[in-house]
Structure 1
Amino acid sequence: MLENLPWNVFRQTGNIETYLLMKEMKEQSQQSPEHQASSIEQESQEDLNL
């Protein structure tokens, strides 16, 4: 159900950022668990550098 939320929001609003979020979530769900963990760590480090 949660994976449908960005699509439903996009359909109702036309917000392209929501569509991009949906695509990113889909890509991450298709990655291996090890790759997901390293991606999360990398994003956390990037957030700290801001």
Structure 2
Amino acid sequence: MRNFSWKYFAMTGDLDAYLLYREAGDSPEGSGPLPAEEEMAIDEEAQ
């Protein structure tokens, strides 16, 4: 689901898709958001 929502966001710019992507990234244990390095890698991959 996370991968799909990111690809949808990258193609459409839909804010709801991005929010779903962020929500899917948070683990149930509450580890928080992704580290900055991983987010940058994902952003570069999408472009």
The TM-score, its normalising length taken from structure 1, stands at: 0.51
Unaligned runs of 5+ in 1: 33-50
Q: Name the structure with the higher helix share.
A: 1
Give aligned pairs, total: 29
The alignment's C-alpha RMSD in Å is 1.1
Gap regions ≥5 residues in structure 2? 30-47
Taking structure 2 as the reference length, the TM-score comes to 0.54
Where has structure 1 moved over 4 Å in runs of 4 or more? none
Greater RCO between the two (CA within 8 Å, min separation 6)? 2
Higher CA-based Rg = 1
Q: Identity over aligned residues, as a percent?
A: 31
